[in-house]
Structure 1
Amino acid sequence: MTPITYPPKPSPGDRVAVISPASGLPGLFPVPYELGLKRLREEYGLEPVEYPATRKMGSTPAERAADVHAAFADPGIKAVIASIGGDDQITVLPLLDRELIRAGPKPFFGMSDNTNLLAYLRNTGIVGFHGASVMVELGRPGAMHPQTADSLRAALFTPGPYELRPAERWNDINRDWADPATFDEEPALRPGSGWSWVNADRVTEGRSWGGCLEILGWLLMADREIARDPAEYDGGVLLLETSEELPSATDVFRTLRNMGERGLLRRFSALLMARPKTWSFEHPDNPEEAARYAADQREAVLRAMRDYAPEATIVFDVDFGHTDPQVVIPYGGTVRVDGPARRITVTY
């Protein structure tokens, strides 16, 4: 099994890199980006440092890789945070210098397309952190969601265990970043329904792996950053979430089925399945359509897990995906899933 360690944590006053290894959307939507930078400074006491491709739409994979290298090579940078996700980060991976990054380990925060870099770091022996991009979570209109803010603060500064809690109120409907009125007030929230448990008769603890399901599918197709020996994942905790592209239940099942055929699913002792995003600008589902989409996705996951990992503990609707709030999950770090007590504890 690959030795993996937690990188040193930053302290208030430290410099942190803000990079765009997936997409230069800060250049198109400066308002949420600048708001996220402001909160890094004022609410977390950190000094963000931009890199050449951070605001550059259409940057090349080589330019984005250079920013990753510069951030990890600079001893004055104490953490690295992605501005946002995208759909092109897989092209950056072959250009990365693993030894350079291993020599300067730093906490990296990102999700969605940043699943690529999180998986790369895990294979390099570095725990990453799934969650908390600058534009989305830090740049949330009105204020950060308290659960997101607390989880990010703990992940940034405090090593040790952190217990996750189901969101009492949540949201997955976005407003237009191009409309200044979007940032006048916080998003409207709706009541949460708690987590749903399957095979909750045991306690499991292991190192996490996974991320955005669509990105994992791409990594599997490209045969990148997937352990050559599936035993690498034995006893681990699988993290899965789906994006704002709202993949169909059929696509979710097929991706999981193919992971099962590769021998991956049965390796994990538990699955944390994030609350699915059920609304997008392209698919503005009404409440009934949204509920049906979520139910269909859950059944697709259950079907695949029944076929390939019937004994695994499953927890549905954990708040670490494309919905709001978003808690930070250590990627490659320790996650404890206590079924009888209905508790999830991560180690930051």
Structure 2
Amino acid sequence: MQNKQFIYPSKLQPGDKVAVLSPSAGLPEIFPEVFDLGLQRLREQFELVPVEYPGTRKMNTSPEERARDIMAAFADSEIKAVICSIGGDDQIKVLKYLDAEVLRTYPKPFLGYSDATNLHMYLWNQGIVSYYGGAIMTQFARYHAMDDYTVESLRRALFLDGEVEILPAPEWSDENYPWNEPEKLRLRVPMFTNPGWKWHNAGRVIEGPAWGGCLEIVDYQLRAHRYLQPLERYKDCVLFLETSEEMPSSAYVYDVFVGLGERGLLQQFSALLVGRPKAWEFNQKLSAEQKEVYKREQEEAILKALREYHPSIPVVFNMDFGHTDPQFMVPSGGHIRIDGIEKRVFVRY
């Protein structure tokens, strides 16, 4: 299969049924109020009908159980898309129980991020475009209201075809709602003015299919080396990466990039898009100054690795995807055009 032979699954219509699954953690069981708000938004703002499966609201399901839910959702002709409830940390264990032929026969839009990187990569290997972002308990269940920027991107991913320019969000946040303190759920999280994206090695136009996701899950994939494709499959693709709420150190980020470089994988990509790092969590409440240091150190670690393995690659830092809000949906396997001359980014949904 050549790089550019990716299938865009059919778009949805209002009234369609959508599978809501927990292929990673079953947090809807622990935080049903948050999950139910996300389902309500799916119904009211997007006019879609959520369909739950046996493991959707169940913690500690086995990888086999989660795989059965995934396969049942994809094989059901009435289900027009599949959306993750939330992420987790062990979805890679599910992949060996999937039936690739069924997924290729019944392609449909898949949304999720973080640990869902695993399933995005599995679908990528089958030549199916999926959409990195938009989990029910995070983006849909933003308590005060969904972010307009996220809503617009979700609508494009779910309902609309064609290329669109991605612009920086007007404001952003990396701080969370305290799900275990219901009295605080309806407070606004602090939002910060977006200074824009940061370009490195700009000056030419690059285009190709996207591959990537959460850096820590990419690291899982590198270590397992079970689902990676031959290096030539990634030639001239656009790499997109971001880090999670675990807030990995700059040394760890550098090490993962070294792994990509030593494998010869990093050198295959024609451009790199980097999501804005999440630099706040309940157990690491960094100040504004500390956040800037964290982000700068991560950027420097990435640039250090790139100087060693791929010094000419164009990079766009601090983009609005991943573990900060709002998000644009990154079309994994979908076409991305990066105009480094005009400093503009376009994606095909």
TM-score normalised by length of structure 1: 0.98
Amino acid at match of 1:326: Q
1:293 corresponds in structure 2 to: 294
1:331 corresponds in structure 2 to: 332
SS at match of 2:185: helix
1:306 corresponds in structure 2 to: 307
Amino acid at match of 2:347: V
2:24 corresponds in structure 1 to: 22
CA contact (8 A) 1:143 1:186 kept: no
Amino acid at match of 1:329: V
SS at match of 2:11: coil
Map 1:336-347 → 2, pairs under 5 A: 336-347=337-348
Amino acid at match of 1:130: Y
Structure 1 position 260 matched with structure 2 position 288: no
State how far apart, in whole Å, the 2-side matches of 1:342 and 1:24 are.
40
Please state how far the C-alpha of 1:264 moved relative to its aligned partner. 0.9
Percent of counterpart pairs with the same letter? 50
CA-to-aligned-CA distance 1:257-302 (integer Å, 9 cap, x gap)? 1100100111111100000000111211111111111000000011
2:51 corresponds in structure 1 to: 49
State how far apart, in whole Å, the 2-side matches of 1:316 and 1:31 are.
35
2:134 corresponds in structure 1 to: 132
TM-score normalised by length of structure 2: 0.98
State how far apart, in whole Å, the 1-side matches of 2:191 and 2:346 are.
25
Please state how far the C-alpha of 1:102 moved relative to its aligned partner. 1.0
Amino acid at match of 2:43: R
CA contact (8 A) 1:204 1:336 kept: yes
CA-to-aligned-CA distance 1:118-145 (integer Å, 9 cap, x gap)? 0000101110100000000001111011
Amino acid at match of 1:310: P
Please state how far the C-alpha of 1:216 moved relative to its aligned partner. 0.4
State how far apart, in whole Å, the 1-side matches of 2:188 and 2:118 are.
30
Q: How many residues align structurally? A: 347
2:173 corresponds in structure 1 to: 171
CA contact (8 A) 2:178 2:185 kept: no
CA contact (8 A) 1:141 1:187 kept: no
State how far apart, in whole Å, the 2-side matches of 1:225 and 1:317 are.
28
1:32 corresponds in structure 2 to: 34
Structure 1 position 86 matched with structure 2 position 88: yes
Amino acid at match of 2:322: G
Structure 1: any 5+ residue segments left out of the alignment?
Answer: none
Please state how far the C-alpha of 1:249 moved relative to its aligned partner. 0.2
Query: Greater CA deviation, 6-15 or 182-191?
Result: 182-191
2:143 corresponds in structure 1 to: 141
Amino acid at match of 1:257: V
Structure 1 position 63 matched with structure 2 position 65: yes
Please state how far the C-alpha of 1:185 moved relative to its aligned partner. 3.4
Please state how far the C-alpha of 1:45 moved relative to its aligned partner. 0.5
Query: Greater CA deviation, 85-94 or 304-313?
Result: 304-313
Amino acid at match of 1:218: Y
SS at match of 2:257: helix
User: Which ranges of 4 or more aligned residues in structure 1 deviate by more than 3 Å?
Assistant: none
State how far apart, in whole Å, the 1-side matches of 2:116 and 2:188 are.
26
CA contact (8 A) 1:140 1:186 kept: no
SS at match of 2:180: coil
1:281 corresponds in structure 2 to: 282
Structure 2: any 5+ residue segments left out of the alignment?
Answer: none
1:194 corresponds in structure 2 to: 196
Amino acid at match of 1:252: V
Amino acid at match of 1:185: L
State how far apart, in whole Å, the 1-side matches of 2:19 and 2:68 are.
13
State how far apart, in whole Å, the 1-side matches of 2:227 and 2:9 are.
20
Please state how far the C-alpha of 1:186 moved relative to its aligned partner. 3.1
State how far apart, in whole Å, the 2-side matches of 1:267 and 1:150 are.
32
Which of 105, 108, 111 in structure 2 is aligned with 1:106? 108
Structure 1 position 120 matched with structure 2 position 122: yes
Please state how far the C-alpha of 1:224 moved relative to its aligned partner. 2.6
CA contact (8 A) 2:18 2:81 kept: yes
Structure 1 position 224 matched with structure 2 position 216: no
Query: Greater CA deviation, 310-319 or 279-288?
Result: 279-288
1:13 corresponds in structure 2 to: 15
Amino acid at match of 2:284: H
State how far apart, in whole Å, the 1-side matches of 2:277 and 2:163 are.
26
Query: Greater CA deviation, 181-190 or 94-103?
Result: 181-190
